[in-house]
Amino acid sequence: MHKQDPSIDIAMPVSNPTKSMTFNYMVSLSIIALLSIFVHFMLDKIIYAQSDSAKIVNLSGQQRMLSQRASLFTMEYLSTGHQESKEEAKKALNKLNNNHYTLTTQHLISQEIRDLYFSQPHETDNQVREFTYLISQALETPSKHIEEKLVQVNLAFMEMAKNQFLKNLDLIVHQYENESVKRINKLRLAQQIVSVIILLTLLLEALFIFRPMVNKVRGFADNLQQEANYDHLTGLLNRRSFTILIDQALALSKRHHYELGVLSFDIDHFKSINDTYGHDVGDKVIKHISSILKSHTRASDCAARFGGEEFVILLPQTKQEDCFNLANKIRETIEKTPLTLNGLIIEITASGGISGYRKDDNNAGDMLKRADEGMYQAKSEGRNQVFYG
């Protein structure tokens, strides 16, 4: 006969992993949440930076247009004396100065821009002041004397609006644009780095937190299943799981007309062994018998400890004659294999009963009952025997 796989692990108690799993899960979620919040703030900062940069670039870009507008309306006023032109020139000049004040007091974001405004060779701040002074002087010319005094008005503002002053304003706009792009790119890089950190965190958590958690759950579930289905002392199936398996085997036998056998064994004089040597030795005797049963069963067979010193074996597709031969072989092995403990030799025998599937069996209990009857008969006839039930 093929041997049943004897490598059934006895269920070892494990602590419920719920507490540690919950803690690890909360820690991992907190890390991800914090990083996600950081990314959210980075996005907000990028949006704000883009908005602020657009505002600054727009203000600095207006300066070019405003300088041209102030110059053109001033010239129109000097040429025609129209008060509307004078008012438009003043509006443009006021707007230019307001923008200049805002840019030089709130948005000097780098030394390069500061140098463009206040250092040589550009000195744009002085040029704005000079341009404002020249425009203001021209606009102070009374309209009724314009034709007479036009030749006396200083028109240097026109040259400024066309040459270096305009170029400086262009340089400032480009510098603001470049620095805005650099600033936003730095923020985006930081955001990308944090995003990568989040992905790495998820990967690390999957490897070192969630996978161990899953393994703990699997181990806990396996252990629960082991404890639910197997006898903790012997590693054999317990009564509950054996009952389920024999019901399934009986259903298959009825459907396909398979042979089905059941063996029942009970250790002889087990109470005397316990009383003489103690319950610890009694447990070793039970484990000794279970190892013999494992070694004599096939992978398709099912051996179980039914309770106390009673064992049963389910033998699918096995004829009654083969069941009897196996039962006798197991009985003889038990008799010829005493348990040796620290030089102490304990002789052991067992009585067995055999039953097979009958068409009139209503359930597996009928088969088990007959096997027990055979086993009780063996005991009543002197023990260390096997009888049909």
Residue with tokens 């001033």, as numbered in its chain: 74
Within a 13 Å sphere around the CA of 170, how many CA atoms are in the beta-carbon half?
9
Give buried/exposed letters for 192-224 (b at 16+ CB in 10 A, else e). eebeeebeebeeebeeebbeebeebeeebeeee
- DSSP lists the bridge partners of residue 307 as 310
First to last CA, the chain: 23
Give buried/exposed letters for 53-84 (b at 16+ CB in 10 A, else e). beebbebbbbbbebbebbbbbbbbbbeebeee
CA–CA distances in Å: residue 389 to residues 45, 185, 289, 310: 86, 88, 22, 16
Active-site position among 148, 179, 309, 381? 309
**DSSP type of residue 287:** H
Asked about 381 being catalytic, the answer comes back as no
Alpha helices in the chain, H assignment, sequence order: 18-80, 83-106, 111-118, 124-139, 146-149, 156-162, 164-205, 211-229, 239-256, 270-277, 279-295, 320-336, 364-380
Q: Determine the Cα–Cα distance for residues 158 and 90; give it in Å rounded to an integer.
A: 15
Reported as type and span, the H/E element at residue 314 is strand 310-316
Least Cα distance to 289 among 239, 248, 344, 330 occurs for 330
Which residues lie closer than 8 Å to 132 by C-beta, 6 or more apart? 93, 96, 97
Residues belonging to the active site:
309
